[in-house]
A and B are shown apart, each in its own frame.
Chain A
């Protein structure tokens, strides 16, 4: 699976959009980008995933660049409860998606 690079930490004002970047320059055509988050010591929570098209669900939007070498997770209106560690993970479509390799992620702090 391709390696990902994320900033260590980010701050965001409550009510503003949080944009979390992820670089995955070695991604292959058969690899999906998944995002999870972990709110203090709780179990990781699935957010969204995509292959090459932008995706949106009730939690977030995922923007994947045309060359697929990077992506951005967007939380449109961040709340204090969105403070968490956000993990960007690349998984080959033929790999067990549940066998995820969690890196260090980005610690997002939403401030009042």
Chain B
């Protein structure tokens, strides 16, 4: 069964460093998303991406964040200068169309020290 894959599963980084979280969406999906979940809190929408551009973003997704689809398979989330409060699970998701359900990856646990 096709699945969304994310790498790495766990990343530790120092405050102020840049990190790139990687995702390979399901191959025939056209819509891509990033979510985050701070430990013990809700799953929060960050951004959606379609046709090589951001279609929607939340208030959380500020100038420190960026997304990119560098090739035909990968979808990345970059955090430019990490802060302690960026520590969270980051989930990538994809959907076939705008109106179909999203499939989530297993997440990357980001720890900022």
Contacts and interface: CB of A to CB of B under 8 A. Distances in A.
Interface string A69-112: 00000000000000000010000010011111111100000000
B104 to A, nearest CB: 3
Interface residues of B, number: 26
B81 to A, nearest CB: 26
A38 B91 CA distance: 12
Nearest to B103: A46
Interface residues of A, number: 20
Chief secondary structure at chain B's binding surface? strand
Given A98-B33, A103-B42, A43 B105 contact: yes
B102 A100 contact: yes
Interface of B: 4, 31, 33, 35, 42-45, 48, 55-56, 89, 91, 93-95, 98-107
30 contacts: A41-B107, A42-B107, A43-B91, A43-B93, A43-B105, A44-B35, A44-B43, A44-B91, A44-B104, A46-B102, A46-B103, A96-B55, A96-B98, A96-B99, A97-B95, A97-B98, A97-B101, A97-B102, A98-B48, A98-B93, A98-B102, A99-B33, A99-B45, A99-B48, A99-B56, A100-B102, A101-B45, A102-B42, A102-B43, A102-B44
